[in-house]
Amino acid sequence: MKVTAVEAIPFRIPLTEKKVWARGVLDAAEHVLVRVRTDDGLTGIAEAPPRPTIYGESLRSIVAAVEDWFGPAVLGLDPFETEKVLDRFERWVGNPTARAALEMALADIKGQAAGVPVYKMLGGWTDQVPVCVRVPTGDADAVVGSCASFRDRYGITTFKIKVGMKPNEDVATLRAVREMMGPSARLCPDANQGYDPQTAVRVLKAIEELDITLLEEPCRIDNDRGRQQVARSTTIPLMGDESCTNLAEVRRQLALGAVSVISIKIARTGFAISQCIAHLCAAEGVVNLCGTQADSSIGVVCGAHFAASCRNVTLASELTGFLDMVDDLLVETPTIEKGMIRLTDRPGLGIRIDEAKLKRYRL
């Protein structure tokens, strides 16, 4: 079996409402569908979500990288030759989501060819994954209302709450959520590097009593001394995300002692490198969850397969991005019941593109 064609198709699906965080605003999923075909008639799909403020990629740069570099690099290869794929990708730097999407589309093909779902091919730890939902930004009452709505509708009890912009309001919001949602709720505030180290220490002390599951990226990722200071000041687990976008960065943050949880985003590291990250974290006694790039249902399914494959992904994963979108590109949208996404036994990723919707939303 050989790769015969690679496509990169940009698309835009509006969000139901704007996403606001400490470092940006998002009103639509403007992503790139990557599709790989083989001479056996199999087709693999994945998506590349550009985040220019984090990785420096754009829609146009991803399409160009796939069409000019990474796509031609895999033509003629057997999709099972993963090490050869990764070796060829090392000719270029950057472009993490472009290369990750191609590698995951190839994994989709491998699963189809082998007749097994991707999560079993990667490790087969479980067939269902608990999810964490990113709560829309707002005042305390609005955030509490959103948490209650997600709990009542989907059974979700783990909530990612954006902080890092107004420290006093952040503390008040987290207190309100804990009071109203009770002890069973898991609170995972994300500061997106919005605090300086001194403010981060003050906020962490103020919320210490609230049984916070983790706090994500309290201060700038280039401030090593500040990050170590913050980590030493609290018993709340700190999670690395923007500081841990590749294997080398993960190794560095672990050496610093700045994080005790690491978010694996398969949109930026694919399946193969994400496995390396998970194994490194396991060796260091650090747990993982699968983070989100505001993924559409395509990326959510990819993330669910990885989370289900790996025993070191012990925390609820951020697999709800498609809930924020007005529509979907898949024939069958993922479902969340009792706070879980359950994987099927369909080969590969087990998903199909709705070609009419792709035509409607493509750019």
Catalytic residues: 162, 190, 216, 241, 265, 293
- Identify whether the C-beta of residue 65 lies closer than 8 Å to the C-beta of residue 98: yes
Alpha-carbon distance of 203 to 186, in angstroms, equals: 18
Residues of the chain by 3-state class (helix, strand, coil), percent to 5 = 40, 25, 35
Place of tokens 């898949």: 330
If you write DSSP's letter for every residue of 282-350 in order, what string do you get? Answer: HHTT-EEEE--SS--HHHHHHHHHHHHH-TTB-SPB---GGGGBS--SBSS----BTTEEE----SBT-
Alpha-carbon distance of 53 to 146, in angstroms, equals: 27
Alpha-carbon distance of 150 to 160, in angstroms, equals: 12
Place of tokens 């993922």: 334
